[in-house]
Structure 1
């Protein structure tokens, strides 16, 4: 961290600017509110002045959101690289899922395995993708997720199928169960209600389905008219986020109605969107295969480039609650782990508690 005099002065100036806005707005509010309630008109305030102030306030609120976000996140902070657990025999890593306990699930191109790794890359388990029974054929998982019941689910593009690994079978050998035929399953995820989400690439659809206790699919719904859907992730408040190969990322509500496209909402131009994920703050993260970048799209504020260098061909992506981002780099055949989120030491419970005095930076550098 930079503790130079110039940096300290900039920090002081920033805090004082925000504090001045806070004090002035509160003072004006305390003065204006009773006047507006106790008189019939607007005094000498014109309609133009009201609209002008509203526009300035909106712009200023956007600036403050951007400042907050830029302080909260960091760029190009690569902390480790996890080699493809299958080695160089098969293609590069492609699909990745991060579970709540911190373990990550990885698939690779043309590799009949799902590897379960610790957050540091240690192999915890290797699941061979092979049908049970004598002479059972192998299959190649394209992407991976984990259900609410802790069962691994994969998309198998070659066999046009979705598979579930059932760890609770009575058989001595655990088994994979084919639950549904899908035209061209590429990405897979789990929504906030526990339903399986499948990006059907060739058909241009996203399928949502639930499973009963016998692993039969129920409540199947489809969202059509997508342009090459690739990867999928649950949305911040239900629904899902899906990347399209032809250059956009779309957000759907839990009702499966289109909420927005990121290119339109943020004015952002994608190359080839690939992996998508949503973090604990509700921000959407998107890997761009063509531009070799990762951008974060916050609920409030402008997009932020989290990774601007060091990626060759980003594919699947996942983020953890600890502020780490896992990106599958197919060309370099590894998972790259970035620390993208700077957690503050505390979160104040009362935003107006500090109005009594102007903020200052103490001598202790930890306070800066």
Structure 2
């Protein structure tokens, strides 16, 4: 039995179920709304029945959110492997950042470079991590990000420093400027307000600060009491997400208040969470180094396992606005690219717009036969 025919019956059943729920809820609302508005009581409806209906509705809404998420995402869809641009004689890739234009910034263990790649993995530029002036020598980037003004910033754990690459100098190739000393910087990011975020591993803190045109740090704040913070990513609400080596991922607001921990909110058990990122939908993605998986935590619904196999030691991670996930697999010394977001071949129906007829055949649904709106 071919796949389209095998999938046609459950697809038709799912469409009919959703369509039936839609019609029933609309019919109930149209009947109940005028009655509840015109009379002081609730007729023969008891308080127990109201609570029972509310609980069932909450459960059903959760089921529908899960169905929507499972339709929207796909699992273990590896589309490309990008070798370590520093070469196999250096340690595995560890830090990764994806810019809105699709450019990828990659660092590797023990490699004194930041490599800038195209979305297809072609090396566009390599920035040597070298000091200038009296303190000549190289340094090793642990993680990488890009500031709002387009400058590359890295965390240097060996020297306990944060560096920014300034291309606008008298030197033809630009130069690195040390902007701040941090005890043990591991992860680095930039929040939605343009502030630089740094995960300070030993101190158990996340530092945030602004950077002016003269590379002076301003408005320095720190969030304490974290258990081995590793990677940090901006959150869509102006806050940030940070992974803790001791087994949790925490979300903070723009005012640096703890919003939630993912283990508590979703009842999810982490092994050793590493790379974190937030996609355009506001969902949080987490790479688990111990479990060798990547999970997506949606705003509504249960966690979705995007990568369940094929990772040896996932560390840094980034996602693009084009539905691709970039995972730095330190164990195999490469960046693995997964297509995790399904892009439907049609425009999603807007709320309140006419719905699709669930009686359509799979050929009609696929656009092979003209469709009609119900």
TM range, smaller chain: over 0.9
1:258-295 deviation line (CA, Å, top 9, x unaligned): 00000000000000000000000110000000000000
Shift of residue 135 of structure 1? 6.5
CA deviation map 1:219-258 (0-9, x unaligned):
0000000000000000121100000000000000000000
In the alignment, which residue of structure 2 is the partner of 1:175?
175
Equivalent residue number for residue 371 of structure 2: none
After TM superposition, give the deviation of residue 167 of structure 1 in Å: 1.0
1:201-227: per-residue Cα shift (whole Å, max 9, x none)?
000000000011110100000000000
2:300 aligned with 1:329: no
Q: Any idea what SS the aligned residue of 2:337 has?
A: strand
The 5 Å alignment of 1:115-126 reads 115-126=115-126
Looking at structure 2, the residues matched to 356 and 217 of structure 1 have their Cα atoms a distance apart, in angstroms, of 55
| Aligned-pair CA distance for 1:331 | 1.1
- Structure 2: runs of 5+ lacking an equivalent: 369-374
User: Does 2:218 match 1:218?
Assistant: yes
Q: Which residue of 1 aligns with 2:372?
A: none
**TM-score (norm: length of structure 1):** 0.97
Q: For 1:19 and 1:41, how far apart are their aligned partners in 2?
A: 31
The structure-2 alpha-carbon separation of the partners of 1:42 and 1:277, relative to structure 1 and needing over 3 Å to count, comes to same
Corresponding residue number in structure 1 for 2:43: 43
Deviation at 1:357, TM superposition (A): 5.1
SS at match of 1:169: coil
1:272/1:358 CA distance change after superposition, 3 Å: closer
Output the CA distance in 2 between the equivalents of 1:265 and 1:311.
26
Q: Give SS of 1:350's match.
A: coil
Structure 1 equivalent of residue 197 of structure 2: 197
The alpha carbon displacement at 1:319 in A equals 0.3
* Equivalent residues in 2 for 1:235-246, closer than 5 Å: 235-246=235-246
Counterparts of 1:356 and 1:198, CA distance in 2:
48
**Cα-Cα RMSD:** 1.5
Q: Structure 1 residue 170: deviation in Å? A: 3.1
Distance (whole Å) between structure 2 residues aligned to residue 211 and residue 4 of structure 1: 55
* Superposition deviation, residue 355 in structure 1: 5.0
User: Equivalents in 1 of 2:329, 2:357: separation in Å?
Assistant: 49
Identify unmatched segments of 5+ residues in structure 1: none
Moved more, 335-344 or 126-135: 126-135
State the alpha-carbon separation in 2 of the partners of residues 166 and 286 from structure 1: 31
Q: Size of the alignment, in residue pairs?
A: 367
Alignment partner, residue 131 of structure 1: 131
Deviation at 1:361, TM superposition (A): 3.1
Q: Mapping of 1:289-300 within 5 angstroms?
A: 289-300=289-300
SS of 1:331's equivalent in the other structure is helix
Question: Contact between 2:8 and 2:362, CA under 8 Å: does it hold in 1?
Answer: no
Check whether the contact 1:19–1:359 (CA below 8 A) recurs between aligned residues: no
Equivalent residue runs for 1:165-314 within 5 Å: 165-314=165-314
